[in-house]
Structures are given as C-alpha cells and as structure tokens.
Amino acid sequence: MQSLQLVQLSADVFTVCLQHALATEREEIMGLLIGEVDDESTVVSIAASLILRRSDKKPDRVEISEEQLVSATIFAEDLAYKTGKPLRVVGWYHSHPHITVWPSHVDLDTQAMYQQMDSSFVGLIFAVFLTEQSTKAHEVQVTCFQSVETSSSRSRIEIPLVIVQPQNALLSTCFETLIQLPKIFDEEENETFSKETGGIEGDFLTEQHNEAVRTIALGHIAEKMTRPMMEVLAERNQYSKTRLQMLRNYHKFLMGKLEECGLLL
Ligand SMILES: [Zn+2]
C-alpha cells in the first residue's frame, strides 16, 4: 500500500544537491535529506540536507554507514531544536553521472531497506552530465522514488516532486552545507595523497610527481567548484540586499499611510 503522495523539496536544498551532483562526473555522490512528514504520512517536506563522504567509490555502490546515519540523526535533532519543527532524516539522494535517472537494482534494494525502518523514506536521484540528443544541450533529470514489492520482483514507484520556497529559518543551514562541499573534496584529495605517499621514502621524483598531482587536483576544485560557488553566493547576497532595501522602503511607505490616517500613536 502506498500512502506517500507528494514530496516538497526546498529550492535551497535542491541547489545544494545539484551543486553536489555536478561536483564530479567520475563517480556517484550521495547525501541524506532532512525534513518533516505530515500526520497522515502523505507529504514529505525536505528542508535541509547533509553531504556524505563516500568511503567506497566503486560505481553504483551507495552504502551509508551506521556512523553516518547516527551523525545525520544528531544533526537533524539539532536542527529540530533550533527551529522548533519535528525534523528528522526523511530520505537520501545520490547522483547518476552520464547514466539514466532510473534507480538500479542496488538502489531499489537500498531503498527497500530504509523503507522497512521508515515507510515514508524517499530516494532522490540526480542524473547529471546528460546530453539532450536533438539539441546537444546539457541536461539534468531528477526523480523521487520508493521501492515496491510485487510477487516476483522489486520495482520502483515514482513519487510526485515539487520544488517549493525555502524556509527562512533554515537558509543559513543550507548555505553552510553548500560551503562544506569544496572542503570535503579537498579532504578527499589530501587523504588520497597521504595514502599514496605513505611509506615511500627518498624517491625525490615520485614525491615531486605526487605533490604536483595533488596541486592540480586542488586547483581544479578551486576553479571548478569554489569560484563559481562564490560568484553565485555574491549574486545571491546582492539580490538579498536589493530585496531588503525594497522591503524597507515599503515598510516606510506603509508607516506613512498609518500616520496619515492618524492610526499611529
Ligand atoms: Zn544509483
């Protein structure tokens, strides 16, 4: 029996997930979604997200460790306390670079496992780096799914997904998650570097080579991820300032009207 009818995704969370998915076209990325479920368990509202580091980078391997689930739960509880809303982990997302948006058998099995613990748990997939055949334009596809068991097999059911206005209370949380992205990628590069160089001693050329590879990788992150992100945030800041000014003017106008009517003491 399917009771879930709609998933509402905050526009800010959508931006963060998409940025994360576009961060690498070599491997799948993943994260957890935080939000609330209505009393009838028919609508899930996603208000924040958490980026997960992948320990296993094999394709189509999207396992979330128990430690990650526990820290996500603590993160959600913290947000719930701050906002006074019943927030919890309500789903997970991952990317499909260069492949179709539909969940694989592994995805359906993973999803089914989560649904056993929480029947309203949802899965989001961001298919990125796709090329639209006729126009050759870059395309992104998103699906929201749950697993269903039929007598012979396991299949997917699509849940309608709408992108909604973000909640102001969680705005800074979404931005904090976003700016973690380059940090996480830097950490991964540094970790790979120490793994590769650990135990090797004295070989000057190898050392120089590994240093150079790391420098190129970090430069790539700064150029392809950090810089565009900063530009977007600077624009967003400008937009917010303009909007703030407009609202101030409007406030002044309304106060003037009140005064004219003699309603202001
Ligand atoms: Zn997948």
Read off the pLDDT of residues 70-123 as tens digits, 9 standing for 90 and up.
Answer: 999 999 999 999 889 999 999 999 999 999 999 999 999 999 999 998 999 999
Distance 200 CA to ligand 1 centre (A): 37
Percent of the chain with pLDDT over 90: 52
Distance 127 CA to ligand 1 centre (A): 9
Read off the pLDDT of residues 121-132 as tens digits, 9 standing for 90 and up.
Answer: 999 999 999 988
Nearest to 175 by CA among 30, 52, 49: 49
Distance 145 CA to ligand 1 centre (A): 11
Distance 12 CA to ligand 1 centre (A): 23
Distance 161 CA to ligand 1 centre (A): 18
pLDDT of amino acid 58: 60
The strand pairing partners of 153, in sequence order, are none
pLDDT of amino acid 52: 87
Beta carbons of 36 and 90 less than 8 angstroms apart: yes
Distance 28 CA to ligand 1 centre (A): 8
Whole-model pTM: value is 0.83
Distance 95 CA to ligand 1 centre (A): 7
Q: pLDDT band at residue 204, thresholds of 50, 70 and 90?
A: confident
Distance 215 CA to ligand 1 centre (A): 31
Average pLDDT over residues 214-234: 90
Q: Is the pLDDT of residue 1 over 60?
A: no
Q: What element of type H or E holds 196?
A: helix 171-197
Distance 67 CA to ligand 1 centre (A): 21
Chain centroid, CA 93 distance in Å: 7
- How many Å apart are CA 18 and CA 97, to the nearest integer? 12
Read off the pLDDT of residues 140-174 as tens digits, 9 standing for 90 and up.
Answer: 999 999 999 887 888 999 999 999 987 776 777 88
Read off the pLDDT of residues 226-248 as tens digits, 9 standing for 90 and up.
Answer: 998 889 889 989 998 999 999 99
Distance 88 CA to ligand 1 centre (A): 23
Distance 69 CA to ligand 1 centre (A): 19
Distance 64 CA to ligand 1 centre (A): 13
Distance 103 CA to ligand 1 centre (A): 5
Mean pLDDT, the chain, whole residue set = 88
Question: Phi-psi region for residue 63, left (φ > 0), alpha (ψ -120 to 50) or beta?
Answer: beta
Q: pLDDT band at residue 200, thresholds of 50, 70 and 90?
A: low
Q: Is the pLDDT of residue 39 over 60?
A: yes
Distance 136 CA to ligand 1 centre (A): 24
Strands (E) across 82-221 are located at 88-97, 122-131, 138-149, 154-158, 161-164
Distance 221 CA to ligand 1 centre (A): 24
